[in-house]
């Protein structure tokens, strides 16, 4: 699996994932979103491919030494280890070397993502909600 820059042609492929209900926890990538993640200096996003298959997408917004991330795995590639590999890439990405603490905000009913983050070493109170009703998990990745 390798990380690559996202291009406009990828957006239609991502949109097809949203026929699956579990995909709707991540905002649908649009041209406006692509411009934002391309132009904003502290925002980074990658698509992940395995061979010729598009398997995932991750976005990280950086504020000082904190990274706020969101990710999605293609419905046909879920539960095959790709989510964990995407998180591992994110935590080691050279562009994010200054990030000490990563945060993932997850809707309470998105139990698969909660389980994945916990498996990846993220910590937090899964019974506690932030002001938006989300479960917030974090991981210290100090290098």
Residues 57-115 pLDDT 10s: 999 999 999 999 988 899 899 899 999 999 999 998 888 989 999 999 998 988 989 99
Span 103-130, mean pLDDT?
93
Domain extents for the chain? Answer: 2-140
pLDDT at 72: 87
Give 75-127 as a DSSP string.
GGGTTTTHHHHHHHHHHH-GGGTT--EEEEEE-TT-HHHHHHHHHTT-B--TT
User: What would the pLDDT profile of 14-56 be if each residue is shown by its tens digit?
Assistant: 888 877 666 556 677 889 999 999 999 999 999 999 999 999 9
> 98 phi and psi, to 5 degrees?
-85, -5
pLDDT score of 2: 94
Tokens coding 77: 């590639």
- Which homologous superfamily does the CATH classification assign to the domain defined by 2-140? Gcn5-related N-acetyltransferase (GNAT) (3.40.630.30)
pLDDT computed for residue 29 by the predictor: 83
pLDDT value for 123:
97
Whole-number pLDDT of residue 14:
86
């Amino acid at each position: 699996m390798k990380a690559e820059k996202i291009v406009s042609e990828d957006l239609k492929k991502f949109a097809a994932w949203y026929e699956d209900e579990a995909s709707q926890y991540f905002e649908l990538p649009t041209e406006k979103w692509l411009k934002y993640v391309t132009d904003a200096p502290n925002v980074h996003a990658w698509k992940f491919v395995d061979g010729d298959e598009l398997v995932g997408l991750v976005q990280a917004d950086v504020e000082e030494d904190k990274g706020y991330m969101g990710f999605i795995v293609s419905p046909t590639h879920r539960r095959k280890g790709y989510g964990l590999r995407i998180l591992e890439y994110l935590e080691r990405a050279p562009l994010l070397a200054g990030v000490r603490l990563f945060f993932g905000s997850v809707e309470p009913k998105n139990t698969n993502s909660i389980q994945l983050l916990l498996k990846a070493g993220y910590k937090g109170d899964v019974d506690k909600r932030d002001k938006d009703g989300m479960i917030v998990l974090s991981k210290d990745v100090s290098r």
